[in-house]
Amino acid sequence: MLNFYNQELQTRAKEYIEKIKNDSKKLDKENQKFIEDIFLTKKNETYYSYGGYLGSALTQELETKKDVKFNDIFPKSIYPALKLLMGEKFFKIFIEISKNITNYPFSSGCNRRMVRSKNYFNYINPLFNLLGNFVNLYFLNIDIITIIKREYEKGVYGIDNPYYIAYEIDNGNQKVIDLTYNNMKAIFISNNKELVELTGKLLLAAKLQEGVRQQICENMDGGLQENFEYMFKIIYDEGRKIVDYLVQNELKRGDSPTKYSELLHGIKRIEGIDYLVQILQALGKETLDRAAYYWEEMILKNLCLVIY
């Protein structure tokens, strides 16, 4: 939040923070305390980024509470402080997104899991990240189109916001829809079924274009459950066709390797060991030395022991 690699922006941000602190004096004590805590950078010899201390303090305060609600984290009484931080427009969007954030997984990064929760305690970090993002957008005076086109100043990083993009998609912003066909994560978070279906068609059309397929598959688990299930069914149905085709052709081909032979190890990951056993049995013992076309030699030796 308000931390930039552009020296001019960093100087302006410090001035902006001082202005917010001064303007907060017009608010009640609770809102003043919220502004003070969100910009607190040191407490008990521990250093924090903006928003870090408040997020950490709320996590400790609410960790023993059952069924944490959004209002436990951001009660309506501190809405004036939120509006001061991000302006009326972004405040409304922040509240709207926050109402629906439990529909999405609360973990992120390479270790993320497709786990959702109605307990807002699990969403404290995502909510504070979202808050910081909207504070940055308000300070920089950046709109959604500028974000998508990446037409903002140098030294500005981390302002991409798939939840904001999804919000605009769900509210029928045609310019955003036209610009976000490749923003897979936002599509899967949104409720726009047309874009989800279009992504499914793109996945089928991509075939051997690894980059496209990877982008789709890496993002499909980060949004709504129904969007994931839609994409998963496409992958499963197509995979089923491929598995059947590979197996039937391998059973017929005899000793001549085909271009699909090296892909047979993938069948084991989809169908289990039985399919490979069936193939090896049909081929016969004399063909079992073709390890390069199937899988590692050790796996073949183990299969031989099972079969013979």
Mean pLDDT of 226-247: 75
What is residue 111's DSSP assignment? Answer: T
CB-based contact 206:213 (threshold 8 Å): yes
Q: What is the pLDDT of residue 17?
A: 92
Domain boundaries along the sequence of the chain: 7-205, 230-307
- What is the Cα–Cα distance from 230 to 226, expressed in whole angstroms? 6
Q: What is the pLDDT of residue 288?
A: 43
- What is the Cα–Cα distance from 134 to 144, expressed in whole angstroms? 11
- What is the Cα–Cα distance from 200 to 194, expressed in whole angstroms? 10
pLDDT at 290 over 60: no
Mean pLDDT of 43-70: 88
Mean pLDDT of 27-56: 89
Q: At 196, which amino acid appears? A: V
What is residue 285's DSSP assignment? Answer: G
Q: Which two tokens stand for residue 83?
A: 């509006």
Nearest to 135 by CA among 26, 21, 27, 16: 16
Least confident of 178-182, 183-187, 202-206, 254-258: 254-258
Q: What is the mean pLDDT of the chain?
A: 77
Mean pLDDT of 262-280: 52
Q: Which two tokens stand for residue 13?
A: 């941000």
Q: What is the pLDDT of residue 221?
A: 78
Where b means 16+ CB within 10 Å and e means fewer, 255-268 reads eeeeebbeebeebb
Mean pLDDT of 255-262: 49
Q: Write down the H helix ranges in the chain.
A: 7-23, 29-38, 52-62, 70-73, 79-100, 124-140, 144-149, 162-170, 174-179, 184-189, 193-206, 210-219, 225-252, 264-271, 273-283, 291-294, 297-307
Q: Which two tokens stand for residue 254?
A: 């005899």
Kindly calculate the radius of gyration of the chain based on its CA atoms and give it in whole angstroms. Answer: 26
Q: Which two tokens stand for residue 228?
A: 């994931």
Q: Evaluate if pTM is beyond 0.85.
A: no
- 254 Cβ partners below 8 Å, 6+ apart? 283
What is residue 42's DSSP assignment? Answer: E
* C-alpha 19, offset from chain centre: 34
In what helix (H) or strand (E) does residue 46 lie, and over which residues does it extend? strand 46-47
* 45 backbone φψ class: left, alpha, beta (φ>0; ψ -120 to 50): left
- 140 Cβ partners below 8 Å, 6+ apart? 9, 152, 153, 156, 159
pLDDT in tens, 127-152: 999 999 999 999 999 888 888 888 77
- Split at pLDDT 50, 70, 90, the class of 252 is low
What is residue 143's DSSP assignment? Answer: -
